[in-house]
Structure 1
Amino acid sequence: MRVLDFDGTIYDGESLLDFYFFTLRRYGSMVRFAPAALYYAIRYRLGRVTLEELDRAMRRIGGRYLQQLTSRPDFDMDRLVSEFWDRNMSKIMDWYRPRQDDVILTASFDVVAGEACRRLGVGRCIGSTLDMETLEVGYLNFGPGKPVHFMEAVGDDARIDSFYTDSDFDAPMVQLARKAYLVERGCVHRIK
């Protein structure tokens, strides 16, 4: 089984950030959520907030963002996501050749990354979950939680032949894989 991270690995950028800017261009009032989200994201990268603190902050900020976004009379999440990918499928990196049995394991929300996977013909996308009825985050799929969510989705006996990532944050997944690859600026290097 080939398992791949999404953002920075097969997608050139951060899809949730790009999606946010996509909604911002449409709905300028969404700008009010940027400062707090960036504050916590940067502090997490610098090691100044814990994963739990980041999780709580992103749930709070994300919930407010979604409430404002979905309160619009013309809101249609499926249409919005589809229009986003109409513009951004070209950001799938050239090195990536999708296989139907690939597993995409991402911190991006399944509602966003899942559409890209569908268009690529990839059978399984394991991402952060979002309940569109309640606008609540089910779980954020990053860091040490990735292997847990992966095993829950595919089973404890799953064997990872190769894992692809762009980040040291995926070290727990690298440990589970027989072979691992680091993707840097579209170049793939074996690291295990």
Structure 2
Amino acid sequence: MRVFDFDGTIYDGESLFDLYLFSARYDAKVFRHIAPVLRYAIKYKLGKATLEQMEHGVGKVTQRYLRDLSGSKGIDDLRVAALGEAAKAGLGDDVLAGDAAHSIAKAKSDDSTGGLKSLVSAFWDRNMSKIKPWYHPRPDDVILTASFDVTVGEACRRLGVMRLIASTINPETLEVTYLNFNTNKPKRLREVLGPDAVIDEFYTDSKFDQPMIDMARKGFMVKGNTITQVK
């Protein structure tokens, strides 16, 4: 089994920060969240933020951001456009029943993240090219990331990677329910895969993933497209 960090490892950049920037084209008010997100990303990379600070700070910023999206006309228009395309393609049970308008209304009322799924889909249409060329998915791969399941999950689906262990968001309250960061990573991996899970190879771009390297039979540091075995 191979386990991969996502941002900076197989994705060229920080996907959550890139998503913030991408969403600003649909609603400029999300720019007010850019500085806090960048600040926490830098602290994370430099190891200057404690787990408690990250959980509190990132949780609050993310919740405010998602609340802005939930009331955004630009994001809502994106969602309706995506649903319209699905209707034209004959996708979805309601559409197949011939009631496209009902399908759109139902999806709008059910999507408590305010169009996040449509935004994420449009984001990955544009950014899948940032998956590094050296990464070739295998059936038993695991993506282990501090980014959110609702964002990285779509990239994993497109890559054909079935196992994702990520930070999570409550779709009803828009609160961060688990931040898969630092020492939470090996803890969560053991919870999901079991205490006896064997990691043959672990790949990361951060020295702060040392606990995961220690768990693995082989560990690799990634810088750009250069991979160096460190264990």
TM-score normalised by length of structure 2:
0.79
Distance in 1 between the 2:151 and 2:7 partners? 12
Q: Would the aligned equivalents of 1:41 and 1:54 in 2 still touch at CA under 8 Å?
A: no
Q: Secondary structure at the match of 2:134?
A: coil
The structural deviation recorded for 1:150 is 0.7
Unpaired segments of 5 or more residues in structure 2? 77-113
Q: Would the aligned equivalents of 2:143 and 2:164 in 1 still touch at CA under 8 Å?
A: yes
Q: Which residue of structure 1 lines up, in the alignment, with residue 11 of structure 2?
A: 11
The structural deviation recorded for 1:45 is 4.5
Q: Would the aligned equivalents of 2:6 and 2:145 in 1 still touch at CA under 8 Å?
A: yes
Q: Secondary structure at the match of 1:26?
A: coil
- Per-residue CA deviations over 1:122-155 (Å, capped at 9, x if unaligned) read 1101110011211011111111110001111111
Q: Which residue of structure 2 lines up, in the alignment, with residue 126 of structure 1?
A: 165
Q: Which residue of structure 2 lines up, in the alignment, with residue 32 of structure 1?
A: 32
Distance in 2 between the 1:102 and 1:47 partners? 27
Q: Which residue of structure 1 lines up, in the alignment, with residue 110 of structure 2?
A: none
Look at both structures and tell me which one has the larger radius of gyration over its CA atoms: 2
Q: Would the aligned equivalents of 2:147 and 2:167 in 1 still touch at CA under 8 Å?
A: yes
Q: Would the aligned equivalents of 1:44 and 1:51 in 2 still touch at CA under 8 Å?
A: no
In the comparison of the two structures, how many residue pairs are matched?
A: 192
Distance in 1 between the 2:185 and 2:40 partners? 20
Amino acid at match of 2:4: L
Q: 1:96 to 1:66 in 2, by over 3 A?
A: same
Q: Which residue of structure 2 lines up, in the alignment, with residue 174 of structure 1?
A: 213
Identity %: 55
Q: 1:117 to 1:25 in 2, by over 3 A?
A: same
Alignment of 1:24-173 (within 5 A): 24-46=24-46, 48-73=48-73, 74=76, 75-173=114-212
Unpaired segments of 5 or more residues in structure 1? none
Q: Would the aligned equivalents of 2:8 and 2:205 in 1 still touch at CA under 8 Å?
A: yes
Distance in 2 between the 1:125 and 1:174 partners? 18
Q: Which residue of structure 1 lines up, in the alignment, with residue 106 of structure 2?
A: none
Structure (1/2) with the larger helix percentage: 2
Q: 1:41 to 1:154 in 2, by over 3 A?
A: same
Q: Would the aligned equivalents of 1:63 and 1:135 in 2 still touch at CA under 8 Å?
A: yes
Distance in 2 between the 1:12 and 1:72 partners? 28
Over aligned residues, Cα RMSD in angstroms? Answer: 1.4
Q: Secondary structure at the match of 2:201?
A: strand
